[in-house]
Amino acid sequence: MRSNVLLIGRNPSVLNDLASALTDEGFNVTTTNLVEQAVQDFDGVDFDLVAFGRGVDEATNHQLRMSFGNQNPKLIFVNGLAPLIPLLVKQIKLAVLGEQAGKFLTAFVCVSADCKKVRVNVAVSCELTIDLYELDAIHQTTQKRLISESVSAGLHEYSLAIDQNATSTIKFLAAEANELDLLVLPIR
């Protein structure tokens, strides 16, 4: 069954890029950058998931969740990490899988202020990856694999090779287990 996804965000370019990537993954995608009138233009019963871009403020996000949730109590909501398209696609795919995906990661925290040292707690043995996602001023995303290894259940600490890239405007670390669970840390 193909999932129906509604993307709500402020940036039409990001919405189009994400819609294209999700369509390639087999999703039926509808987008709108008319954030405040999304509830008037769409009905929650027509969708399996609604994803919000980072440009949707907290109050509007809450109001839209309440309205769409009243229309469809089974609706899944995702606060997207726009405009990092590969990370958004993973977020949405895993949200649709829900409990089928399982819960492998129980914690992912920065140990140092610059996040060059992190701690990851895994519930079961799995294949763990930690990736760095960076976005530059012209919205080009780079992804760098920092860790990829099989780990046993428990707490693991890693020192990461993160460059202080002056051209990056947005950075995230993403820990992923068996490609079925994802936790994300913003880096300041």
* Three-class SS state of 26: coil
48 with 119, same domain?
A: no
17 with 37, same domain?
A: yes
175 with 117, same domain?
A: yes
74 with 139, same domain?
A: no
Residue ending a domain, choose from 66, 99, 132: 99
81 with 138, same domain?
A: no
112 with 81, same domain?
A: no
Q: Characterize the bridge pairing of strands 105-110 and 117-122.
A: antiparallel
Is residue 166 very low, low, confident or very high in pLDDT (cuts 50, 70, 90)?
A: low
Question: Per-residue pLDDT tens for 34-68?
Answer: 999 999 999 999 999 999 998 899 999 999 999 99
45 with 118, same domain?
A: no
**33 φ/ψ angles, rounded to the nearest 5 degrees:** -110, 10
Beta bridge mates, 134: 142, 171
109 with 150, same domain?
A: yes
30 with 116, same domain?
A: no
129 with 171, same domain?
A: yes
Q: How far apart are CA 77 and CA 171, in angstroms?
A: 23
94-98 long-range CB contacts below 8 Å, 24 or more apart? 94/180, 94/181, 94/182, 95/49, 96/3, 96/48, 96/49, 97/180
Angstrom CA distances, 42 to 6, 17, 71, 84, stand at 9, 21, 10, 25
62 with 122, same domain?
A: no
The boundaries of the domain holding residue 58 are: 4-99
Percent of the chain residues past pLDDT 70, beyond the cut: 97
Average pLDDT over residues 112-140: 92
182 with 133, same domain?
A: yes
What is residue 16's predicted lDDT score, i.e. its pLDDT? 96
Question: Any idea what the CATH number is for the domain that residue 147 is in?
Answer: 2.60.40.3870
Question: Per-residue pLDDT tens for 66-116?
Answer: 999 999 999 999 998 767 898 899 999 999 988 677 789 999 999 998 899
Residue ending a domain, choose from 64, 99, 134: 99
Residue ending a domain, choose from 41, 75, 99: 99
Question: Any idea what the CATH number is for the domain that residue 88 is in?
Answer: 3.40.50.2300
What is the total count of domains within the chain? 2
The answer to whether 81 and 91 have CB atoms below 8 angstroms apart is yes
The answer to whether 85 and 18 have CB atoms below 8 angstroms apart is yes
